[in-house]
């Protein structure tokens, strides 16, 4: 599901990074919308315990929807974000697909013809309200099947106290990062720049760096371009100016998972790292004065950020197209979108809810993330090969920055495997 934003965001927190919620709607009544229908909703739990379980949210949405739509019931199942994608896959394989699922990936189901498109289910006003970059990431061959549910972006975080002690200003370029990290190391900071390229969420950390170097995972026409000249240059810089100079801390980047890096930041042991809203709140709760700036690039701040999203989708199996559409339109009201985003420190996926959050003074700290979202670049969710490619990146990318290793060779190997995976789609 996604650096979805918990797991996916665990990357947000172990919970948010978690990505996944599934709403399953199943039942009778057919496509006509008449008669009694029970929609089975399967959703991921973004919470960290019973007190903030996502089941409370979905039960509330289901109750509100049922009151406005007599004859349609919603059967809610909320599963741990680590399990929900697998559980839904098993349901689909067994011929018992939910009507609605909120999980981390949609492409496999869309390619197999198992999902309704947005045009088949949503009111035009609902479809038009999605942020364009997120709506685009939900499309396959120009048709939208994945409905963005929640999102997140990344900024560079720095510890203001440690920076002040070293007499440093916020970094704007790669050279600033390297020089600042050297100064922090001289002051005894454990992780001058925490670079988590371990298997937990390496594909996200990698994309942030690729974007800051003018590259990315794909080219202008959407084909994989992982070993481009820009990407190779980025990893050479990281190898020579951060890792090779001993500025990334006591754990090799390829062995450092994001959760460990985040915990070190909240403990005041990290000078800089790439972070998201949940980490911001967790660090401030521990007394860390967090500074945030756009991702520094080779020549200045990166114009776009990395974005992450989790998805909602409607399955065709039970034929409840109209009922599913009614539920989607209800679920994407500003009230519901904002309630979920606020509970889990995530970002709204609709223009109207984003504007409302940005205008609300209580969300002032989230404004830099909200501003970054419209121009964000997401991982290639629309490729069924992405799951395989992502796993390859997680396993191999850490070696690209190891002193003495050749980034071009490592990225070339990953690129070859990506091309093979794409050819097999």
CATH of the domain at 118: 3.40.190.10
pLDDT at position 48:
82
251-309 pLDDT, tens digit per residue, is 999 999 999 999 999 999 999 999 999 899 999 999 999 999 999 999 999 988 899 99
Do 312 and 246 share a structural domain?
no
Contact 255, 198 (CB under 8 A): yes
Do 404 and 364 share a structural domain?
no
What are the start-end ranges of the H helices in 69-116?
Answer: 81-93, 107-111
Contact 311, 105 (CB under 8 A): yes
Do 225 and 115 share a structural domain?
no
Residue 285 within any structural domain of the chain: yes
| Distance between CA atoms of residues 334 and 348, nearest Å | 9
| Distance between CA atoms of residues 39 and 312, nearest Å | 14
According to DSSP, the residues that pair with 347 across neighbouring strands are 151
pLDDT at position 26:
37
What pTM value is reported for the model?
0.86
The secondary structure element, H or E, covering residue 27 is none
Do 399 and 297 share a structural domain?
yes
159-203 pLDDT, tens digit per residue, is 999 999 999 999 999 999 999 999 999 999 999 999 999 998 999
Q: How many domains does the chain have?
A: 2
Do 161 and 103 share a structural domain?
no
Q: Report the chain's mean pLDDT, rounded to a whole number.
A: 91
Q: What is the DSSP string of 297-364?
A: BSSSB-SS-EEEEEEEEEBSTT--HHHHHHHHHHHTSHHHHHHHHHHTT-B-SBHHHHHHHHH-GGGG
φ, ψ dihedrals at 208, nearest 5°: -60, -45
Q: Determine what percent of the chain is predicted with pLDDT higher than 70.
A: 92
């Amino acid at each position: 599901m996604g650096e979805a934003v918990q797991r996916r965001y665990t990357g947000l927190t172990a919970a948010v990074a978690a990505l996944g919620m599934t709403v399953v709607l199943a039942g009778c009544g057919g496509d006509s919308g008449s008669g009694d229908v029970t929609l089975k909703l399967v959703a991921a739990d973004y919470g960290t315990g019973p007190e903030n379980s996502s089941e409370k949210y979905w039960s509330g949405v289901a109750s509100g929807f049922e009151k406005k739509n007599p004859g349609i019931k919603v059967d809610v199942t909320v599963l741990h974000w680590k399990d929900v994608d697998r559980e839904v896959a098993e349901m689909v394989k067994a011929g018992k697909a939910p009507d609605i699922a909120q999980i981390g990936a949609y492409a496999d189901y869309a390619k197999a013809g198992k999902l309704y498109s947005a045009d088949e289910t949503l009111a035009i006003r609902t479809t038009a309200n999605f942020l364009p970059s997120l709506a685009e990431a939900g499309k396959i061959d120009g048709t939208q099947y994945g409905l963005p549910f929640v999102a997140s972006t990344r900024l560079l975080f720095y510890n203001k106290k440690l920076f002040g002690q070293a007499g440093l200003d916020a970094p704007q370029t790669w050279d600033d990062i390297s020089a600042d990290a050297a100064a922090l190391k001289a002051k005894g900071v454990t992780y001058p720049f925490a670079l988590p390229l371990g298997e937990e969420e390496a594909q996200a950390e990698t994309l942030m760096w690729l974007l800051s170097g003018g590259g990315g995972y794909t080219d202008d026409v959407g084909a994989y371009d992982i070993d481009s000249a820009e990407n190779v240059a980025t990893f050479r810089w990281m190898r020579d100016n951060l890792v090779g100079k001993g500025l990334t801390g006591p754990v090799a980047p390829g062995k450092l998972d994001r959760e460990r890096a985040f915990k070190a930041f909240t403990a005041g042991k990290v000078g800089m790292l790439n972070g998201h809203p949940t980490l911001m709140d967790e660090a401030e709760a521990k007394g860390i004065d967090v500074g945030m700036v756009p991702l520094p690039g080779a020549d200045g701040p990166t114009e776009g950020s990395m974005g992450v999203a989790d998805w909602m989708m409607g399955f065709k199996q039970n034929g409840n197209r109209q009922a599913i559409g009614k539920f989607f339109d209800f679920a994407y009201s500003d009230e519901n979108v904002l309630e979920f985003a606020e509970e889990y420190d995530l970002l709204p996926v609709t223009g109207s809810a984003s504007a409302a959050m940005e205008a609300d003074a209580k969300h002032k700290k989230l404004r830099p993330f909200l501003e970054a979202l419209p121009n964000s670049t997401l991982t290639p969710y629309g490729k069924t090969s992405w799951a395989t490619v992502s796993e390859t990146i997680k396993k191999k990318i850490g070696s690209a920055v190891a002193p003495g290793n050749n980034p071009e060779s490592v990225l070339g190997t990953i690129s070859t495997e990506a091309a093979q995976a794409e050819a097999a789609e």
